[in-house]
Structure 1
Amino acid sequence: MLRHHFVLYLRSIKRYKVSFFINIIGLSTALTCSILIYLWVSDELYTDKFHKNSDHIFHLMELAEFPQATKVGRTTSGNIAPLMLAEMPEIHMATQVVKYPQDATLSIENQTIKGDGHYVSKDFFKIFSFPIIKGDKNDIWADTNTILVSETIATTLFGSVENAIGQSIDFQKEKQYTVSGVFEDVPKQSSERFDFVLSYEEKTLSQTNLLDWGSQSTYVYLSMKPDTDIVAFNEKIHDFIRNKTNKGQSYRTPFLKKYTDEYLYGSYENGIQAGGRITYVRLFSIIALFILIIACINFMNMSTAKASRRLKEIGIKKVIGANRKTLIFQYMIEAIGIAFMALLLAIVFVILLLPEFNQITGKQLSITISSGFVFSLLGITIFTGLLSGSYPALYLSGFKPALILKGKLNSSVGEVWTRKGLVIIQYTVSIILIVSVLIVHQQIEFIQNKNLGYTKEQIIHFNREGKTLDDNHMDTFLAELKNIPGVLDASSTRNAMTGDGWGVGGFDWEGKDPNDYTQFQNMIAYYGLIEMLDIKVVQGRSFSKDFSEENTKVILNESAIKRMQLKNPVGKFIGFRNKKREIIGVIKDFHFESLHEDIKPMIINLWPERLTKFMVKIKIGEEQETLTLLKDFYEKNNPGFLFDYMFLDENYQQLYIAEQRVSKLSRYFAILAIIISCLGLFGLVSFTAERRKKEIGIRKVLGDSSAHISFLLSKEFVKLVLVAIAIGLPISYMLIDNWLSGFAYKTGANLWYFLTAGMLVLIVTICTVSTQTIIAANRNPVDALRDE
């Protein structure tokens, strides 16, 4: 039986080559998109789930309720973890983590390498599954003056993992640590990225404020016992920590968030969970499904359109005893067969396209043959075959043999409208994708060109480390930087202007409400930074060496003054930790975070010992020469440290890397959706013209023009696309408006882009249809009427 169906299937392919080609190209393209998206989605969903007890690892976070908004804090006091572990039996283990604020320099003799690192407490490697490949997990923190490094760091500095143990590493040329362990390189599926870890206990000896109740610098992770009711436990820790803290911290509400949920569900709006990367996972999953549906609709339309060519085959089979189930089985086998052929072609496409796809997504995806991958691939393919073959199988098998053999079978109104409905669905999906691509592109352009309130172009920043940390030589170092050819200006800061500041509360000012716990973005700057960045001072002045005790004075932004409701703020004082600081100036609001966020109240301090970065403005057109001179100067004056810089505008672009990737991928998928839709329409028009060839021949004999005949054939399909436009544009508006709501500053849904999408689809449709209708209209009518 199967052999018989296979032979018939091969004959069908040979007989209907155009139909087969359109189906195989459409389905293979759709499956290629689906497989690529599947690989990306799988990688996203698996992030952080490789940890052995990932279901029981939680992050202690805080809900901070302020008058203007409710914020979610990911860090808390380092003092909380040991207290909770000692007094709350539901907790199995706890660990504290402080992230090193910048790339650190690790070196031995004349060899140097940069790396990211954490300070962690002793149970870190017991909670998280980062395997230690050399060293005793239970003894690695016997001495707090130790360091654990990644396999890459160990082999780079010492030649092998074995040679690293017991060796000394210079850390920032300030202190030596002994290597007590080597861990496997952090896997790509981890949201945590680090190359070395140091002792948290050793960090608290030098920075005791980490254990203050008011500190907000430590990440706390808990390994909970399996039977713990997390909802009830959240209530319990709420009361527990409230009893431990003073009244000034009463606005902070602690809660546990599952560690594996943070990567995908990490966004909050006014204290409420509001998506995150899961939004893009869902978006691309829907896109994959839409593209598959478009390709399947092509198959359905092509199969039902050519039904007239298979009527006698169906009629004879029914006469000699074939029942409807047998025919359904045959056509479903044909559909699944084409789907598997398309799968083979899709795998070839995926292998060819994967490097480019990885570059766009920033991933390291690969095809790994595993049972899960194979079953998923088979599932997608069989689903595609069943979906595309279901309607044609039911449609073709339902014909009555007597009517077929008498030639009295005509398409019913329902069948015609079903086919039209499928075309409308195809183009509605295509329009939604095109509008989305245009609006996302418009928003990215808006972000890139928006006036941020400061100059980000031609400015680089690099770490302040080694000898440059000497505050007594700060002014000398900056003066020498400014003398380098191509350098226009130089200053120092702690912040890279892209949201790496931190919130500080507890300020007092004249007329303040006692229940106001407003948090200020804290920016630390040096002389000349405000002027170099072209930040406008609207009242008062900036920091200046012409005045004394500038480190006791502050500058506020307009949002802070508005929040504090201060009139004539210059000369007034703001209190912090029992110290009064004079307000010497007010700056115009500028965007310190991404445009997803509103501009927050900001306080700028002059605090030289806390400065961590140099900022240098370089001349346009002399970038390469200036960077070479800066590198030579830096490494000569700071031996043992690498000159590792980044442009400020590149930092800004990194804030929107996810949106840029979505924009680029959506663009490709929208183009593919249009191509697949046009392929289907091309085939459908061909079969329509074939079915109406006698009508066309009679019209030509009676004197009708080719242009008019082409218009009559095209009109039907253009109407369908116009209906799709009418349906697709409102749906597009609702979807895109929801996406734009995630930005505090946005461009708005421009009507022109909706009209452009509609016109683009209409023009492509007319071109596709016209190529076939013109050919049909210009055929010799004798050929069409010869059989009559």
Structure 2
Amino acid sequence: MQQHNLKITYRTFLRYKSSFLINLFGLATGLTCAILIFLWVNDELSTDKFHEHDAQLYHVMLNHEEDGGIRTDTSSPGLLAEALEEEVPEIKMAVEDSDPLWFGENFSLSDGEKFHKASGKFAGDGYFEMYSFPMKYGQADHALKDKKSVVISESLATRLFGSSKDALNKSLEWKLLHFTSQATVTGVFKNLPTNSTQQFDFVLPFSLFKDILGDGLHWGNYNTYTSVLVTPGTNINQLNQKLADFIKNKNQGSNVSPMLVKFSDLYLYGQFENGQQAGGRIMYVRLFSVIGLFVLIIASINFMNLSTARASRRLKEIGVKKSLGAGRKTLIAQYLTEALVMAFLALIFAIAFTYALLPQFNQITGKVLTLTLSPTFIGGLIGIVIFTGLLAGSYPALYLSGFKPINILKGHFRGSATEAWTRKGLVVFQFVLSIVMVVSVLIVYKQINFALTKNIGYDRNGVILVPMEGKATENIESYLTRLGEVPGVEHVSASSHTFTQNGSFTTGVSWPGKTEGTIIKFEQSRAYYDIQQTLGFEMAEGRSFSNQYGDETSKIIFNEAAIEAMGLEDPIGKKVNLWGEEKEIIGVMKNFNYSSLHSKVEPMLFHFKTDFLPNILIKLNTKNPRNVLSNLREWYKINNPGYNFDYTFLDTAYEAQYKAEERVSLLARYFAGVAIVISCLGLFALAAFTAERRQKEIGVRKILGASHFTIVRLLSADFTKMVLLAIVIGLPVSYVMANFWLQNFAYHINLEWWYFAISGAAALVIAWLTVSFQTIKAAQTNPSASLKEE
């Protein structure tokens, strides 16, 4: 019997080729989207979850109590780890490390012949015991104990010494700005997994970082990351309450309270409000999970609608079969077999589509996803397919097979009102989702475009960032002066800030009239001469640093936000105290965005320094930047031998801040397009079903003189009402969602009415174009063909 059903299924597919192909394409597309989204979501959820001690691994966050509320930050004092491990019994181990981004690519390693750029960090000697970055060679518990040791990755070992096996116990030289030292390779760790938020090429002992910090190593300087392993069974809420005053007891007058947050949660839940986790990337994970589910539901609805529309053609077949003795179970088995065969064919095509699209999908998402057909994954897909097939085949199998053959053969078959409303409701639901997605894509696109084109207060065009290295660290004044003489270079300066993301901050500023207990966070940057001319920011009052005035180490510049926060009037010439040193205010710069538009402009200061300036800023003549870069490359070979001329355009670095939003926007664009296409297939299915049901009515109307336009308008009216209803429902929903998303930006676009009008109009036009094919076809049918019986 099953063989007979398969044969009938094959013949049915051949007979109704268009229905078969539309069904197959729609369901396969929906399944493909669901599989791709599942791979992306699964990778996001697995980030940082691979550590052996994941359940006990926590990161120490600091809650800063300020006038505007509580601000949560990831960095902590360099003394904290040792104190926690010694004084808190619930903490089994505490390890400190530095952020590689603080130094960028300023680290250089020499194998004795030439220097190699690499991303490095400093970490405590228990780092490789706490985090599961397996050692390929060497011992994790001894690798960082000696101050002259270094642990490197497999790939860096191969780059430096030809192979990772030959690297152990080899010597190398490392340089960071004007710091340099010899080190011995005491360990080689396996290349870090792609789903690790920590990415680096080598690790140096944290004791070296303490030497670099010097007097900067104290309880009021937050320049370190601290991670802890708590003992199993520890109540984290109780421990956080116990730690609330830990730093305040060490540093009188401090406004910070430590808070332990599970390390693997920080990737997805990295946003904090008033000292509590308040979301983050998990918003995008949830969004795409819902999108994947909705696309699959839309595809399943289409499958059911199109199956239903074509099933009415086979009513007489049902009647004849039942009159010849076929039982209801036989018919149910036949129609369910057809639906399941269609669903499994769609799954095969979906897997093939996924393999074909995965390289492009990886390029869009910036991930390295692979489709591994594990038993669990295959079982889940088969379960979805079986559910979809049974759902789609349920109407013809259970509903149509229950009719009496005599009623079918006499043409007394009529669908119920509930059935019609259900089908229409499903189409409305499809278009509501499509409209929401279209509006969302438009809003995200407009916001990103706003972020990239907004005047942020300084000119990033034609400015490149070059690491401070080699000869530059020996005599910065002479080096930068000669660099400024290269043809095509307009201005040169240096800074500890990249001006594309938050850098270091301080609360160690005192000023005339400061009231006791007032704490203000200042973003701070060390800066060199000509910083204003190089970046092009405007001065509200006073001047910037200039070598015309000699030594500027006792001078300081604030932005307008800082002056306002301090409540200073006529600030030029007034004296403030920074870390115990008296500084004279020589300028007030106009506010500019030194990080992304996610954050508002906060108080900032520049103080003049000639050391620890990791970033050289070069303003190029933009008329012919290629020639200028070529000149710089040649100059670099002569004046900084052994180093490559590596640079980053400031505008490129700025745009990279919105990479996550751009990827979400692009993915949403693709998935919105898919949802619209599949929704149109659903509308197409309903139009086909309606045209078949009203075939004789159309024939009678045409005989009585109805024009083609009248027939098209008659058949299109119901579909227009459904889409208009979807617009009425979808636009308010999309407004609420768009407004909620824009709250993540301190500066954002206004939600204009025409964003929603365009989206609604587009949905209506697309619906009309979709329906027009079936309605025009029905209107052009010869009345005699419509009225004749088979």
TM-score by shorter chain over 0.5:
yes
Aligned to 2:99: 99
The CA deviation string for residues 231-262 of structure 1, in whole angstroms up to 9 with x for no partner, is 1111122244443x22221x211111001101
Aligned to 1:521: 523
Cα distance between partner residues in 1 of 2:562 and 2:210: 32
Aligned to 1:639: 641
1:72 aligned to 2:67? no
Change (3 A) 1:627 1:386: farther
Amino acid at match of 1:91: I
Match of 1:454 among 450, 454, 458: 458
Offset at 1:702?
Answer: 1.7
Match of 1:744 among 736, 743, 746: 746
Offset at 1:215?
Answer: 1.9
Aligned to 1:246: 251
Aligned to 1:125: 128
Offset at 1:392?
Answer: 5.4
Offset at 1:211?
Answer: 4.1
Give 1:121-160 correspondences, 5 Å limit.
121-160=124-163
Match of 2:185 among 159, 179, 187: 179
Match of 1:262 among 248, 256, 266: 266
Amino acid at match of 1:145: K
Q: Is the 8 A contact 1:209 1:215 kept in 2?
A: no
Change (3 A) 1:500 1:241: closer
Offset at 1:276?
Answer: 1.2
Aligned to 2:503: 501
1:285 aligned to 2:289? yes
Q: Is the 8 A contact 2:57 2:262 kept in 1?
A: yes
Change (3 A) 1:210 1:85: farther
Offset at 1:764?
Answer: 1.2
Q: Is the 8 A contact 1:22 1:680 kept in 2?
A: no
Aligned to 1:366: 370
The farther-off stretch of 180-189 and 388-397 is 388-397
Q: Is the 8 A contact 1:77 1:210 kept in 2?
A: no
Cα distance between partner residues in 2 of 1:597 and 1:567: 26
SS of the residue aligned with 1:176?
A: strand
Aligned to 1:161: 164
1:654 aligned to 2:660? no
Q: Is the 8 A contact 1:60 1:254 kept in 2?
A: yes
Amino acid at match of 1:247: Q
Offset at 1:330?
Answer: 4.8
SS of the residue aligned with 1:365?
A: coil
Change (3 A) 1:248 1:384: farther
TM-score (norm 2): 0.95
Match of 2:211 among 205, 209, 212: 205
Q: Is the 8 A contact 1:111 1:157 kept in 2?
A: no
Cα distance between partner residues in 2 of 1:641 and 1:203: 24
Match of 2:235 among 217, 220, 229: 229
Offset at 1:208?
Answer: 3.6
Change (3 A) 1:380 1:639: farther
SS of the residue aligned with 2:283?
A: helix
SS of the residue aligned with 2:146?
A: coil
1:576 aligned to 2:578? yes
Cα distance between partner residues in 2 of 1:230 and 1:627: 54
Offset at 1:163?
Answer: 1.3
Amino acid at match of 2:30: A
1:23 aligned to 2:27? no
Amino acid at match of 1:73: D
Cα distance between partner residues in 2 of 1:647 and 1:753: 33
Aligned to 2:221: 215
SS of the residue aligned with 1:265?
A: coil
Q: Is the 8 A contact 1:292 1:384 kept in 2?
A: no
Cα distance between partner residues in 2 of 1:702 and 1:680: 32
Amino acid at match of 2:148: N
The CA deviation string for residues 650-672 of structure 1, in whole angstroms up to 9 with x for no partner, is 11011100000011111111111
Cα distance between partner residues in 2 of 1:394 and 1:414: 16
Offset at 1:153?
Answer: 0.8
Q: Is the 8 A contact 2:596 2:657 kept in 1?
A: yes
The CA deviation string for residues 460-492 of structure 1, in whole angstroms up to 9 with x for no partner, is 01100121012xx32322222222222222111
The CA deviation string for residues 29-51 of structure 1, in whole angstroms up to 9 with x for no partner, is 11111111111111111111111
Cα distance between partner residues in 2 of 1:367 and 1:763: 37
Q: Is the 8 A contact 1:487 1:617 kept in 2?
A: yes
Offset at 1:400?
Answer: 4.9
SS of the residue aligned with 1:170?
A: strand
Cα distance between partner residues in 2 of 1:109 and 1:387: 69
Q: Is the 8 A contact 2:221 2:506 kept in 1?
A: no
Match of 2:345 among 341, 345, 351: 341
Match of 1:530 among 524, 529, 532: 532
SS of the residue aligned with 1:217?
A: strand
Q: Is the 8 A contact 1:58 1:224 kept in 2?
A: yes
Match of 2:772 among 766, 770, 773: 770
The CA deviation string for residues 400-436 of structure 1, in whole angstroms up to 9 with x for no partner, is 5553344312122111111111110111111111010
Give 1:360-509 correspondences, 5 Å limit.
360-390=364-394, 393-401=397-405, 403-470=407-474, 473-509=475-511
Q: 5+ unaligned residues in a row in structure 2: which ranges?
A: none
Q: Is the 8 A contact 2:246 2:257 kept in 1?
A: no
Change (3 A) 1:474 1:32: same
Q: Is the 8 A contact 1:154 1:182 kept in 2?
A: yes
Change (3 A) 1:716 1:95: same
The farther-off stretch of 552-561 and 234-243 is 234-243
The CA deviation string for residues 728-787 of structure 1, in whole angstroms up to 9 with x for no partner, is 111110111110111110002221111111111111111121122112211222222233
Aligned to 1:311: 315
Give 1:656-735 correspondences, 5 Å limit.
656-735=658-737
The farther-off stretch of 440-449 and 522-531 is 522-531
SS of the residue aligned with 2:738?
A: helix
SS of the residue aligned with 2:45?
A: helix
Aligned to 2:549: 547
Amino acid at match of 2:187: G
SS of the residue aligned with 1:546?
A: helix
SS of the residue aligned with 1:575?
A: strand
Aligned to 1:109: 112
Amino acid at match of 1:551: T
Cα distance between partner residues in 2 of 1:537 and 1:518: 22
SS of the residue aligned with 1:585?
A: strand
SS of the residue aligned with 2:420?
A: helix
Cα distance between partner residues in 2 of 1:769 and 1:578: 76
Offset at 1:300?
Answer: 1.6
Q: Is the 8 A contact 2:510 2:576 kept in 1?
A: yes
Aligned to 2:305: 301
How many residue pairs get aligned? The number is 784
Aligned to 2:566: 564
Q: 5+ unaligned residues in a row in structure 1: which ranges?
A: none
Offset at 1:273?
Answer: 2.0
Offset at 1:545?
Answer: 2.2
Amino acid at match of 2:64: A
Change (3 A) 1:210 1:397: farther
Cα distance between partner residues in 2 of 1:582 and 1:75: 29
Cα distance between partner residues in 1 of 2:68 and 2:159: 50
Amino acid at match of 2:198: E
SS of the residue aligned with 1:193?
A: coil
Cα distance between partner residues in 1 of 2:760 and 2:396: 30
Aligned to 1:33: 33
Q: Is the 8 A contact 1:60 1:220 kept in 2?
A: yes
Cα distance between partner residues in 2 of 1:384 and 1:42: 22
Give 1:71-90 correspondences, 5 Å limit.
71-90=71-90
1:510 aligned to 2:531? no
Amino acid at match of 2:253: G
SS of the residue aligned with 1:24?
A: helix
